Chain A
């Protein structure tokens, strides 16, 4: 029998709806970490960062939100996710314990360049985590991003998609 040439024509597909093609994509999620501010006096000083979320994902209750968080809040979030979910959680920027020792030549953990470096690391961290489909199911992530205050005595739970 003769050799037949394989048919390589494309399979039939539905034409795309123009709204879908040119409208806003359904995967919009942007988190900015900025505006660091140091509050308190003396030994009780600490730095907070503004966490600004803009999204159109239905799993987030608010399409826009702004909260203030400090480094230890990020540590709390990381521990909760490691314990409650199966996500491999990325590392945080360093804890910088050496910078907290006295008799340094610079401002230690309140040094401008250190805060800037830490701010960038935290932004990378939170974007990586918030984009993870499994992490998006955790109550702790939503509380961290969009609740005014973190209730550390909360009951860990999974979010049900609406």
Chain B
């Protein structure tokens, strides 16, 4: 027999560290061609793990909850099993990167004598924040002595993923021949600890803000919409395994293609785009997928979203 298992879960779980329930159904479907089968039990595992790619096969599970669904025995026909994990801790956001992956998933296992049947289903978790109380602008004067002096300003130090970076570059001294200026968004993924720390830099965006030679006293405006780029929130030392940080890189290029640049970190955070009122509406829809489970249907709404990750 070729039993297939199928799990249905709400595709998105959100909430800042607030444990929410995972409601699902596991189905065992019998392929009609073959007869009944022996099995040693069906279990479902709700797990979350970080996986470091360079550490071949090194999966670190940081959350693991197990439920037995069926006792050993024989299956002669298709069966479905409902299950529920209450109070699942989801402290980190799901992340797929160049050298590391953090995922939450359900795994259903049918243990059999010779070979098990395993099916996994991923769940995406987002960590949400609200507007930080403290969000000062970044303003700095930098340069090369007697050659190039600029003052750059960005309106905030913390931006949400659909925010706009508003800023300006003020030229104090220009003794080189500048051809153009651009601003880049750089993502740096750091994995490993101690002597094995590895940084992977990726330029997510390049945006030209000036074409032509500036002179002293000129101000060049910056307006960069983040919604158009693939960004994640800033993640610091997640489970002591990895970090993802973002930097704005201001680059000036002169007529001989020489590059002058200044990098500045910015903190990115994810704004919750679900208004509280509709949350229970979403939960109601999600629960309607399961017939006859109305008593379990209540997905917990996240309690007062508090200030969190962005400020640590």
Interfacial residues, chain A to chain B (CB-CB below 8 A): 1, 6-11, 13-14, 16-17, 20-21, 25-27, 29, 57-59, 127-128, 131-133, 136, 161
Contacts and interface: CB of A to CB of B under 8 A. Distances in A.
B255 interface: yes
Among A16, A17, A133, residue most surrounded by chain B Cβ atoms (within 10 Å):
A133
Interface of B: 144-148, 153, 155, 163-164, 166-168, 170, 173-177, 213, 215-219, 221, 223, 254-256, 258, 275
Contact of A11 (B167, B173, B213): B167
B217 A26 contact: no
B258 A26 contact: no
Given A1-B275, A131-B256, A161-B145, A17 B217 contact: yes
Contacts of B216: 17, 20, 26
A11 B223 CA distance: 10
Contacts of A131: 176-177, 254-256
A11 B155 contact: yes
Given A10-B168, A26-B216, A59 B146 contact: yes
Nearest to A22: B215
A29 B219 CA distance: 24
Given A132-B256, A161-B146, A10 B221 contact: yes
Contacts of B275: 1
Contacts of B153: 11
Given A11-B153, A25-B215, A27-B177, A133 B223 contact: no
A131 B217 CA distance: 22
Contacts of B164: 6, 8
12 contacts: A10-B168, A10-B221, A11-B153, A11-B155, A11-B166, A14-B217, A16-B219, A20-B218, A21-B215, A26-B174, A27-B175, A131-B255
Contacts of B255: 131
Contacts of B254: 131
Nearest to B168: A11
Nearest to B137: A11
A57 B175 contact: yes
Given A59-B146, A132-B258, A14 B176 contact: no
Nearest to B275: A1
B168 A13 contact: yes
Given A13-B219, A132-B258, A7 B175 contact: no
Given A27-B174, A133-B176, A8 B217 contact: no
Nearest to A59: B146
Nearest to B223: A8
B51 to A, nearest CB: 36
Given A6-B164, A27-B177, A132-B256, A11 B221 contact: yes
A16 B218 contact: yes
Contacts of B175: 26-27, 57
Contact of A13 (B170, B174, B177): B170
Contact of B144 (A1, A14, A29, A133): A133
B170 to A, nearest CB: 6
Contact of B166 (A8, A20, A29): A8
A22 B255 CA distance: 21
Contacts of A58: 146
B176 A25 contact: no
The 10 closest A-B pairs by CB, nearest first: A13-B219, A16-B217, A20-B217, A161-B146, A133-B147, A6-B164, A20-B216, A11-B168, A10-B221, A27-B175
Contacts of A9: 166
Nearest to A16: B217
A29 B256 CA distance: 13
Contacts of B177: 27, 29, 131
